Structure 1
């Protein structure tokens, strides 16, 4: 809370008096009799102010100030001084202390100083939060590539959900990037430093499923040599990604439901419950409730997994993302293989946009790699994708506009000259395709 104050003073009477004044004024007060205790208890990004005496046994207020500044140079520290310590306190302010109060001080002078310091702290923390959000957004833009409205919405949803302690269900076709989205939910949230464990439920034989998920003790079954930690236990503190969750055997669904409800599991061959802290992200192509109605999936587990749902748009429905993704995959391949990358010409780009991409992003990445190797596949042939000519023209037009804006870094005059368009026509087309000049300016 932004009304928190840590009071550090070796005199119990001073601590008690200050606590009474501040508590009556609505502050959250924490008392420390030693500077060392303050440092040990100080949380990261403490949303408040440190109020410290200067002269104390052990570490004094001046050394505490230096230690606090090393941790957070913007943390406000107000020093309480005796009359003879005023020159020292003035020097401390030059070194970064926010203020000093000479004893004896009035409650009102203390409150005034604290309120100013807390307002400064509020602004600093808000500025940090905005910078962190901007950095996260930039990183996510580089990870989940795309300019379509669907991708922009997905990135906003991922940023919103990444920090929340809720299970997420990802719906999408094969190759649409479900594991990458799951990884972003982990990497951009508070569990990022903990394990991310991915498991494809369709790839595990049913007889091995329980041991894979929950682990086993030595001798739990024939061939169980020694103790083995299961995937769920290994991911403790982090995230478990269960791809193709609809393929999980019903018996294991019941055990997974218990883990989600109780945050506890038991290894095969053991009666001891192990507490785990897990976030479950599941992915599926079919609707789990439809699977439940057909008797292939537990309805209660479906609801537990689907606290929040993300739906991934197939590539054929966001064709404006295809050129950007193709270019990214092709350049990455060329760099990795030390090969030259020849950008697509207009005819190739048109065929790229007309292909239906049933394998979605995975198929597109493969096509880009083959292009770099000179082994272009089916997309280079005229494709009867079923998409109307008007839709293909719209996607091609959007890509041409985006490429010109990128080349000229948002210089509208240069774009007008290159494309030979009237200003009003360009404005209308940019608006229709959701293109903003600000997104192409140098340094953005």
Structure 2
């Protein structure tokens, strides 16, 4: 048996095909013909050798003799189509064996060639097969994208034109792998959009989040770029920064406008070169990552005022994505509110409260300065039976009083207890350790909030 033959390299864009022919001289001649026609050819003299290669590597067409020693061409056809029914396979047979060729066509072969044949006809037929394969893969990708869009609908909720446009842009941006700037007011869901861009991009790495305002200036550089031992006081061992951690994935820089100016130039260089150098080291480390930055301010205006680097702004603004505030898509409010009420009911182990037309009118009349985040908090208060606390209530004659501090504290305390009980499935010691309370205090608070350990010990949900 002849080992697989790798011929003269061709460009990466060349069609990748597999040749299976047990006549060594014809094998080599056909391989050379296909190579000269622009194909990247891997040749075998047996189906047994070709089968694992086709399974491991992506080939776009197969040319195989029907009469092979050991596994026949018909058997190879069946094995390959059992794994991928859309892979085009062209079979070769003697001119006087049309019956076997027709059987191969019934088994799903793309076409057959009778020996002897003209070499030009072989290359033409192979090009047609590759074109069909690429069209099939494009259709498959389209179906997968449509399935992804359906999943995205359950994450970025809303039927307004603004949300429909947002979902479409997120999918297109995700597929591009280009750096992206997400613009939106506080509470519009910029991090959620960044997570969707990452998840639907198919990146092999993970999403690494850096909340820029939360990092003190004196440790920002080490947090972003990493450091070597002794790079500064307290740097006892080497540490990879957020950029390295995002290798193969996405680095999300939330509120990038808060990044110190002197670090913006270093970040720009890393984005341009896709290389990072840790503090205390001269070694440059290659990183394959994508940047998604978010801000609630006008970075261009900030740049004009000298408070943000203009070159970094233009580098990030390749694919800008703007999230509309909730007041501009009020047709989404009712659906979102109902969803968040259901979610809160499940979280608090309650039956979801019913809404009324009056409540929905009140929600629609509000401007929602805190956007979706504020709406979610309002839904949670509604589910807990607390006043929803919208500003317009203060101007209405039948306004309900705002919740007292004690009521708010009690609500938060119950939520924390519920979350700890779920995480530890009612394990007293672990809950006390996490919350920093004694067992006596824990039992007292559970009783005050009507929570029972047995309900959580029997709950296997996460």
Fold-level similarity (TM above 0.5): yes
Residues 292 and 115 from structure 1, CA distance in 2 versus in 1: closer, same or farther, beyond 3 angstroms? closer
Determine which structure has more spread, i.e. the larger CA radius of gyration.
Answer: 2
User: After superposition, where does 1:27-426 map in structure 2 within 5 Å?
Assistant: 28-34=39-45, 36=49, 39-40=52-53, 46=59, 48-54=60-66, 61=73, 64-81=76-93, 93-107=105-119, 110=122, 114=126, 117-118=129-130, 120-121=132-133, 124-191=136-203, 193-379=204-390, 382=393
Distance 1:320 1:113 in 2: 55
Residue aligning to 1:396? none
Deviates more, 1:76-85 or 1:333-342: 76-85
Distance 1:303 1:319 in 2: 32
Residue aligning to 2:19? 7
Deviates more, 1:90-99 or 1:247-256: 90-99
Whether the aligned pair in 2 keeps the contact of 1:144 and 1:151 (CA below 8 Å) is yes
Whether the aligned pair in 2 keeps the contact of 1:354 and 1:384 (CA below 8 Å) is no
RMSD: 3.1
Whether the aligned pair in 2 keeps the contact of 1:354 and 1:383 (CA below 8 Å) is no
SS of 2:168's equivalent in the other structure is: helix
Distance 1:281 1:118 in 2: 36
Distance 1:88 1:5 in 2: 23
SS of 2:390's equivalent in the other structure is: helix
Gaps of 5+ in 2: 1-12, 397-462
Query: Cα distance, 1:121 vs. partner?
Result: 3.3
Deviates more, 1:14-23 or 1:241-250: 14-23
Query: Cα distance, 1:292 vs. partner?
Result: 1.5
Query: Cα distance, 1:300 vs. partner?
Result: 0.9
Distance 2:331 2:394 in 1: 17
How many residue pairs match? The answer is 382
Distance 1:319 1:367 in 2: 15
Distance 1:256 1:58 in 2: 59
Residues 384 and 100 from structure 1, CA distance in 2 versus in 1: closer, same or farther, beyond 3 angstroms? farther
Whether the aligned pair in 2 keeps the contact of 1:69 and 1:75 (CA below 8 Å) is yes
Gaps of 5+ in 1: 386-444
Residues 115 and 147 from structure 1, CA distance in 2 versus in 1: closer, same or farther, beyond 3 angstroms? same
Residues 255 and 100 from structure 1, CA distance in 2 versus in 1: closer, same or farther, beyond 3 angstroms? same
Q: TM-score w.r.t. structure 1 length? A: 0.77
